[in-house]
Amino acid sequence: VAVLGAGAWGTVVSLMLARRGTPATLVCRTADQAAELGRTRRDERALREAELPDAVRVTWLGDPDALRGATLVAAAAPSRAVPELAGWLAGRHLPEGIGIVSLAKGLGPGGERRLSEVWAEHLPASPVCALSGPNHAEEVARGAPTAAVVAGDRALGERVRDALAGPRFRVYLNPDLVGVELCGAAKNVIALAAGMSDGLGLGDNAKASLITRGLAEMTRLGLAHGARVATYQGLAGMGDLVATCTSRHSRNRRAGEMIAAGVPAADVESRLGQVAEGLATARGLLAQADRVGVELPISEQVVAAAFGGTPVSACLEALMARAPAEEG
C-alpha cells in the first residue's frame, strides 16, 4: 500500500498496515520531509508516540519509485491537495484497477464535489472508497480501541477492512459513500462551532445542544444528497462528530477556540501547525446546501465568524435564539 501524505493519520495508517503484515510506503510531500521522517522514524510535531517500523518505507512524491509494488493507494493528504495529487497519480503508470482509499475529511475545490468524485474524475478506472469514523490518530497510535467504517466500492472496502482491522481497530462496511464523505466534511465545521463555544466558556450544556443541532443540520444536507440517515446515526456521523467536538485532540475544535480568542482564520493553521479542514469546508458546505435548498444555520454562523467579521459571541447567540428544528 502506498500512503500519500505523512500527516498524523497517514503516518498511523502506514504503521497499522505494517503491524498487520502489509508493507507500506509512506509518501511525503517534499524530499526534506521524507529525509527527516526517514531519519527520526516518527512525526515529531503531531505524533511523537508512534515510531514507524521497518516495514514502512519512507519516500516522497518526486521519487519515480514511490508507488513501486503498490496495489492500493491510501490518500491521507489534506482535501485541498487532492486535485493535484489525483492528477499526479493519473500521470503515473498505475497497475490496472488500483484502488484508492480516501482518508481526508473535506470537500473538493469550492465544495462542488466530494473527494471520491475528484479521485474518480482523474482515475476513472480505479475503484474508490472512503474510511471514516471517530479516529483521532493519537489514540489509534497508542492502541486505544477504535471503530471505523469504510464505504464505496465493496470489494475494495473489504480489502481495506482486512488490511487494517484488528481487535483494537474495528472496521465495518457501510453502503453509503455519499453520507460517509459528507459526514466527514460537515463534522469539522460543527467542531469549529463547538470550539468557538468552548472558547467563550459557554459550557457543556450549550455545547451538547450545539452538537445535537449540528447532527440535525448535517443530516438534512446529507438526505438532500441521497445519503442514508443510518450513516448519520452511526460511527461516521454522530460518532465522529462527538469525538471531534469534545476531544482535546481535535484540531478543528481547537481552531474554533482560536477564532473565539481573536486569531484571524488565515492565521489559525500556522498557529496550529496542522490543517484544520473545517475552515475550507465551511463555505463549500454552504455552496452545496444552496444547490439543494437546505439551510445550515450553524455552518452559516461559522462562516460569518471566521470570514465575515461577525463577533463569535453574536454568532453563537444567533444560534441559541433560534428554535431547534428537531423538537416538536
- Using CB under 8 A, list all residues that contact a second copy: 133-136, 139-140, 142, 144-147, 149, 167, 170, 172-175, 201-209, 211-212, 215-216, 230-231, 233-235, 237-240, 242-243, 246-249, 316, 320-321, 323-324, 326-328
Our CB check for a second copy shows the closer of 35 and 230 to be 230
Least distance to a second copy, CB of residue 296, Å: 17
Residues 213, 322 contacting (CB under 8 angstroms): no
Rank residues 2 and 316 by Cβ distance to a second copy and give the closer one: 316
Q: Name the minimum Å distance from CB 193 to a second copy.
A: 13
Nearer to a second copy among residue 113 and residue 187 (C-beta)? 187
Nearer of residues 125 and 320 to a second copy, judged by Cβ? 320
State the nearest-atom distance from the C-beta of 191 to a second copy, in Å: 12
What's the N-to-C CA distance of the chain in angstroms? 50
Q: What are the Cα distances from residue 208, in Å, to 218, 242, 251, 260?
A: 15, 9, 18, 18
Which one is catalytic: 159, 187, 228, 251? Answer: 187
Q: Is 105 a catalytic residue?
A: no
Minimum distance, C-beta of residue 81 to a second copy, in the bound complex (Å):
25
- 12: number of CA atoms within 13 Å, CB side? 19
Q: Give the shortest CB-144-to-a second copy separation in angstroms.
A: 4
- Only one residue has cell 473527494, namely 115
Cβ–Cβ < 8 Å for 237, 151: no
SS3 of 31, please? helix
Q: Is residue 124 exposed (0-12), middle (13-18) or buried (19+ Cβ within 10 Å)?
A: exposed
Q: How far apart (Å, rounded) are the C-alpha atoms in residues 56 and 62?
A: 18
Nearer to a second copy, 31 or 230 (CB): 230
Phi first, then psi, for residue 6 (nearest 5°) are -110, 40
Q: Report which secondary-structure segment, H or E, holds 52.
A: none
Task: List the catalytic residues.
Answer: 187
